[in-house]
A and B are shown apart, each in its own frame.
Chain A
Amino acid sequence: QQQVKQSPQSLIVQKGGISIINCAYENTAFDYFPWYQQFPGKGPALLIAIRPDVSEKKEGRFTISFNKSAKQFSLHIMDSQPGDSATYFCAASMQGAQKLVFGQGTRLTINP
């Protein structure tokens, strides 16, 4: 019940296309859903996060869509660029909690 399932494991998108990564969770107590971007040999960096009181959050080319009833959330990268090539992790936690539960990660490659 503590798991966050992420898909796909790897994704190849052409430059300018839309990259979509999906995550699903079971624990309905989760109410904070961040996405992290990690480049090889670096630590993860917080990209964007959403709370379940909204169904969508957009920051630049990055959008999180959240479906509370389905217990799913997804990251959309619009106009994908080669510099977006990285591993992306979704995560979940609860209000007041400090621990994060991570998804398995998606390795995104943007072809020029």
Chain B
Amino acid sequence: GAVVSQHPSRVICKSGTSVKIECRSLDFQATTMFWYRQFPKQSLMLMATSNEGSKATYEQGVEKDKFLINHASLTLSTLTVTSAHPEDSSFYICSAPRLAGTYNEQFFGPGTRLTVL
């Protein structure tokens, strides 16, 4: 399968600081990537769709000024959590779709554990 990487794998920061998470598709190009948030023992919650060359599309209830997304190239999307607070602590996962015939197979990164003190 295709490979999607994330960096860093875990980060601990103080309240009020900003944290940047990178998502890379290593062996295929992705004009679209997705960012998810996952709380313990819960399903994946889609936060936003990252679009190369254009603005991200945010799901209802997600603060776009809080979670800044930049899709800098066909293989890189970044999520910046601005002025992080303890309630932003979570597991953040990105994914990238790769076309297989007429369907898109979704490949996920390994996730980033964010802890805000």
Question: A residues engaging B (CB < 8 A)?
Answer: 32, 34, 36, 41-46, 49, 51, 89, 91, 93, 95-100, 102-105, 107
Contact = CB atoms under 8 A, between A and B. Distances in A.
B67 to A, nearest CB: 17
B1 A46 contact: yes
Contact of B34 (A36, A45, A99, A104): A99
12 contacts: A34-B105, A41-B91, A41-B113, A43-B95, A44-B93, A98-B104, A98-B106, A100-B106, A102-B43, A103-B43, A104-B43, A105-B41
Interface residues of B, number: 26
B58 interface: no
B74 to A, nearest CB: 15
A contact patch SS = loop
Contacts, number: 59
B110 A46 contact: no
A72 to B, nearest CB: 18
Contacts of A45: 1, 108
A104 B104 CA distance: 21
Interface of B: 1, 4, 6, 32, 34, 41-44, 46, 49, 91, 93, 95, 97, 102-111, 113
Given A42-B111, A51-B103, 11 more contacts: A42-B110, A43-B93, A43-B110, A43-B111, A44-B108, A46-B105, A89-B43, A98-B34, A98-B49, A98-B106, A107-B41
Contacts of A99: 34, 46, 49
A89 B104 CA distance: 17
Contacts of A32: 103-104
Nearest to B33: A98
Nearest to A36: B108
A43 B108 contact: yes
